[in-house]
Amino acid sequence: MPSSAADRIVRDTREVLTLAGLPEPREGDRTGGYHVFERDGRVHVSWVTDSRIYNQAAELAGTHPHHPVARLDRSMAAIMLRAVVDVLYAAGFTVVLRPGGPHSNPEEEIGEVIVRAAPAFRAWADG
């Protein structure tokens, strides 16, 4: 995907998720929310929980990946990613959700969201 196409998808994705009321954390921010980024020509969306749970879960996950706090953190992220997909799909985006599931690697439980295309008609835009 050409850079300008990816840039447009990133911009439009951020705009729609913000209009939906979802937070995008800033550098050094403790709150959770979505992250939109381009990697290898693809636009991805991830979700991170508030640092109060995320930090505790990350600390436990290395030695106790199935600790209730670690599982809760992963479950919250997976649930929010599915909600993000629903919002983007409703706005006309082409979205791929590769759902997670029970794996030997707990990090794979969250899943992955790839935004393949932004809609040609931007219903949310002014005018």
- Mean pLDDT of residues grouped by 10 in the chain (127 residues)? 83 96 88 92 91 77 79 88 96 90 61 91 78
Q: How confident is the model at residue 31, as a pLDDT?
A: 86
E strands present in the chain: 33-39, 42-48, 94-99, 111-117
- Within 8 A by CB and 6+ apart from 125, the residues are none
User: Is position 84 within any domain?
Assistant: yes
User: Is position 125 within any domain?
Assistant: no
Q: How confident is the model at residue 12, as a pLDDT?
A: 96
Structure tokens of 34?
């979505």
pTM more than 0.85:
no
User: Is position 126 within any domain?
Assistant: no
Q: How confident is the model at residue 62, as a pLDDT?
A: 73
User: Is position 122 within any domain?
Assistant: no
User: Is position 127 within any domain?
Assistant: no
Q: How confident is the model at residue 74, as a pLDDT?
A: 86
- Domain holding 10, by residue range, is 3-117
Which residue, 97, 113, 119, is CA-closest to 12?
119
Q: How confident is the model at residue 43, as a pLDDT?
A: 96
Q: How confident is the model at residue 30, as a pLDDT?
A: 82
How many separate domains does the chain show?
1
Which residue, 37, 12, 6, is CA-closest to 112?
37
Q: How confident is the model at residue 69, as a pLDDT?
A: 85
Q: How confident is the model at residue 125, as a pLDDT?
A: 80
